Amino acid sequence: MKILFLGYYDAGCASLATKFYLRKALEKYAEVIPYGPEGFQWGKGIDVVKLQKIYKPDAILLQGRWINFKYPRPRGRIDWQNLRKVTVPTVLLFNELNAGLGQRIAWINKNRIDLTLWGTYHIMNQLRGYMFKGHKMRWFPWWADTKIFKDYGYARENDVAILGSLPGHPLRGVMWNTIRTRTDFKFFRRERPSHDALHLNPKTAFIHGNYARAIAKSKILIFDSAPPRSITHPFKKHEIVAKASVYALKKFWEGMACKTLVMAPEPVDAKRLGFKAGHNYVEINRDNFTKKIKYYLKHPDERKKIALNGYNIVRKRHTVNRRARQLIQYIKMLRR
């Protein structure tokens, strides 16, 4: 099978690292032609029909990154032109739910994308009625590249890690402002590079192995739910649904895969994901996170047992290779 992969530069971009791992894993099962990720020259648009004639793919996969502005602003959205005119199946990764939901659904309908892959089952079902007739939707939760996110055998020198940005994450901000004033926790705090920071050097930037090793050096990884901006889209009915939808961030998979104890609010798809509070992660809220940190630092056997269960569930159900195989099966389904 030959897949034309359309997207942005992903190898040195922190926000697209997880999709980079998927793209590389797909190469084990298909011939993948990346157009865009390895150095796109920004322009006013690309005619996908011409690309189909050149590369003759069996399917077209779109990376799914969505930015609300267009060319000529630097790193604006690429206009993939004439998608609805191609004669092979088109598939869009719809993992990030916090950017322009309404606009993206309108774009899917306009371009007649055959299949969208959703990171959250709950929200996928709520939005089914807004897709054109014949469109297919499948649940496709996040994944971990277990060659990068793993137990490195470190001594776990940090008690707690709080990683990522604070703006837009009010609970994460509360956690940080509380923990930073304490002297009984040894914490590690660092932001990942901005999503607009492209072509980072993996040897020095806080991405890939550098990011994974920071998690693996910590006993606990603590974070919040999806950013509040995930609720902002134009469907009034679904603003209410989205407000009730606390979906799992990639940090669940990343932390578990490093055999680090994950502490976070319970995501809406927890049962489907195999995430069970007290078994493979610890559920927290604004009122109890400090108490639970103290408890699990004082009870290392319990902490390590839960972390091990998280480590095992990722390797059983959520590896990048497993997702790559699932994606190949979905594409074959479309081609029947």
- Residue among 16, 60, 108, 19 nearest 335 (CA): 60
Least confident of 61-75, 114-128, 204-218: 61-75
Q: What is the structure's pLDDT at 240? A: 41
Counting Cβ atoms within 10 Å, is residue 68 exposed (0-12), middle (13-18) or buried (19+)? exposed
Any idea which residue has 């939901």 for tokens?
Answer: 101
2-143+320-335, CATH topology level: Rossmann fold (3.40.50)
Task: Name the CATH code of domain 158-317 (choices 3.40.50.2000, 3.40.50.150, 3.40.50.720, 2.160.10.10).
Answer: 3.40.50.2000
Least confident of 106-110, 198-202, 207-211, 218-222: 198-202
Q: How confident is the model at residue 95 (pLDDT cuts 50, 70, 90)?
A: confident
CA distance 268 to 291: 24
Pairing of strands 31-35, 158-163: unpaired
pLDDT digits (tens, 9 = 90+) for 203-241: 889 999 999 999 999 999 999 876 544 444 444 444 545
Q: What is the mean pLDDT of residues 50-72?
A: 81
Q: What is the structure's pLDDT at 72? A: 47
pLDDT digits (tens, 9 = 90+) for 156-172: 999 999 998 887 777 88
Q: What is the structure's pLDDT at 56? A: 97
Q: Read off φ and ψ for residue 49, nearest 5 degrees.
A: -60, -40
- Residue among 282, 256, 245, 14 nearest 120 (CA): 245
Q: How confident is the model at residue 93 (pLDDT cuts 50, 70, 90)?
A: very high
Full-model pTM: 0.91
CA distance 172 to 187: 14
Q: What is the mean pLDDT of residues 251-256?
A: 98
Residue 39 has pLDDT above 50, yes or no: no
Q: Where in the chain is the domain with CATH 3.40.50.2000?
A: 2-143+320-335, 158-317
